[in-house]
Chains A and B, each alone.
Chain A
Amino acid sequence: MPIAEAIPAADLLRALRDAAVTDVVAVPDTHQRSLIELLDHTEDIRFIQAATEDEAVALAAGLIVGGRRPIVQIQHAGLYACVNHLRGIAGDGRFPMVFLIGLLGRDPHRMPSDHAGSMVRLAEPLLDTMQVPHWLLDGPADVAMVTEAFAAAEERQGPTALLIGVNTA
């Protein structure tokens, strides 16, 4: 019996709209492919592609300076790749920046912490180490956490993260 199920991309898109997201800054994530495809046909939320996750963090910070409300969409491997920009810009720079992180390869029958593979297993402990509050979205009912993550980012003036547990549908 799986403990996690796919979130329809349309539900996530609705949650992004509810959170007043203006831009999705992304290094394309296979895990969130259906959401990317939907965003590609969405006019009210801009999709901005970056070559690296470091760039995505810096670009999102610039958007915030300019009055926009972005979300950074990456994969767990990208989280590992951008640790210093996460620390130096989003953390020390005190940017209310929300991350949408796909846990590609996560077994829906196991919690991420029980995974044998390090890519899935280490994402949450890394966020804990970086002092980034995070939420695991393990089904359609969890999309309300998107608004919660933005509220927390603004409250703490720093980064927060949403982990997508299963490939978006």
Chain B
Amino acid sequence: MTTSTTSGARISVDSAIEALARRRDDQVVVSTMTVMRPWRTRAETDRDLVCVGFMGGASTFGLGVQLARPDVPVWVLDGDGSLAMQLGSLLTIANAAPRRFLHVVLHNGVYDTSGAQPVLAEGRMSFADMAKSAGYADAVRFDDIESFELALDDLLETDGPVLVELITEPTGDSYQNPEPGTSPDLPADGRPIASALASVWPKVRDSLANGPAA
């Protein structure tokens, strides 16, 4: 199943998260960039991994989990600017051919956190087309939530790797520069995001080692 819709409509990030969250089971979910915080608020479990401070790393981070545990589905919630930083990962993932791997790219067309500068070649490129050319088993692009909801259950049953490109609305969440003396991985709220990965991944490891497969 490959579709490409270009009506000019856009999906809200919240509705995309809601559609995925309702289908959340025991999957390992790797989230990054602007989707990370709302996803964790809505659907976080002990199988969530976060990516901050190494933009572009989410897709192959998730691939590694899936190659270690082919019995457990992995979802990667990626950003357009983030995937653009590691486009080669499409080849790496297609080559490894993980069967239970859903790669969701939230394509809002801008670098939201830095002030909405456009993603390069915006309006002329398609991550779904790139994924198909790279060798993903399937790749689909949606710009309305109804079509996405209708297709999602089938996509989750499709042998991967599958990429879903969602044309989404920018969130307008500008990044707040940290206070002098702090750094991007040590924000002013006192919660060190980057080191959160250090505290989060052992829990996911333990959950995978001890819990049931999805």
A residues with CB within 8 A of B = 23, 25, 46, 48-52, 54-68, 70, 84-85, 87-89, 92-95, 157
Write the chain A residue with the least CB distance to B85.
A54
CA distance A94 to B197 in the complex (A): 8
B204 at the interface (CB under 8 A from A): yes
CB-CB nearest in chain A for B56: A54
Stretch binding the partner chain, chosen from B66-74, B145-153, B157-165: B66-74
CB-based contact A66/B54 at 8 Å: no
Interface residues in B, total, Cβ within 8 A: 38
Residues of A within 8 A of B66 (CB): 62, 66
B120 CB within 8 Å of chain A: no
Question: Shortest beta-carbon distance, B146 to chain A, in Å?
Answer: 33
Contacts of A58 in B (CB 8 A): 54, 57-61, 64
Q: A48-B67, A54-B86, A89-B57 are in contact. Are A65 and B49 (CB under 8 A)?
A: yes
Interface string of B84-125 (1 = CB under 8 A from A): 001011011001100000000000000000000000000000
Which of B63, B197, B198, B208 makes the CB contact (< 8 A) with A59? B63
Known: A50-B92, A51-B89, A66-B65. 11 other contacts (CB 8 A): A50-B88, A51-B92, A52-B88, A58-B59, A59-B63, A59-B92, A62-B66, A63-B67, A64-B205, A66-B68, A88-B57
Measured between C-beta atoms, what is the minimum distance from A13 to chain B in Å? Answer: 20
Minimum CB–CB distance from B206 to chain A (whole Å) comes to 10
Q: Nearest Cβ distance between residue B47 and chain A, in whole angstroms? A: 10
B209 and A67 form a contact (CB under 8 A):
yes
5 contacts between A and B (CB under 8 A): A56-B60, A65-B65, A65-B204, A70-B64, A93-B197
A88 touches B61 (CB 8 A): no
Which residue of B91, B96, B201 contacts A48 across the interface (Cβ within 8 Å)?
A: B96
Contact B60 A93 (CB under 8 A): no
For chain B, residues 186 to 214, give those with C-beta under 8 angstroms from any C-beta of chain A: 194-195, 197-198, 201, 204-205, 208-209
5 tightest CB-CB pairs across the interface, nearest first? A62-B64, A66-B68, A51-B88, A88-B54, A58-B57
CA distance A25 to B28 in the complex (A): 21
Q: B196: shortest Cβ distance to chain A, in Å?
A: 9
Report the separation of the CA atoms of residues A58 and B30 in the bound assembly, to the nearest whole angstrom.
Answer: 12
Bound complex: CA of A53 vs CA of B134, how far in Å? Answer: 19
Q: How far, in angstroms, from A62 to B58 measured CA to CA in the complex?
A: 10
Q: Is the C-beta of B173 less than 8 angstroms from some C-beta in chain A?
A: no
Q: Quick check: is B62 within 8 A (CB to CB) of the other chain?
A: yes
* Neighbouring B residues of A66 by C-beta, 8 Å: 64-69, 72, 205, 208
Give, as a whole number of angstroms, the nearest-CB distance from B60 to chain A: 4
B53 near A92: Cβ-Cβ < 8 Å: yes
Q: How far is the CB of A52 from chain B (nearest CB, A)?
A: 5
B69 in contact with A88 (CB, 8 Å): no
The answer to whether A92 and B194 touch across the interface, beta carbons within 8 angstroms, is: yes
CB within 8 A of B195: which of A51, A56, A59, A92? A92
Residues in chain B near residue A62, CB distance under 8 A = 30, 60-68
Question: Most chain-B CB neighbours within 10 Å: which of A46, A56, A62?
Answer: A62
Q: How far is the CB of A88 from chain B (nearest CB, A)?
A: 4
Q: Which residues of B contact A54 (CB under 8 A)?
A: 54, 56-57, 60, 86
Residues on B with beta carbons closer than 8 Å to the beta carbon of A46:
67
Q: Is the CB of B57 within 8 A of A85?
A: yes
Tell me whether B25 is interfacial, beta carbon within 8 Å.
Answer: no
* B185 on the A face (CB < 8 A): yes
User: Are the CB atoms of B67 and A52 closer together than 8 Å?
Assistant: no
Is A55 within 8 A of B65, CB to CB? Answer: no
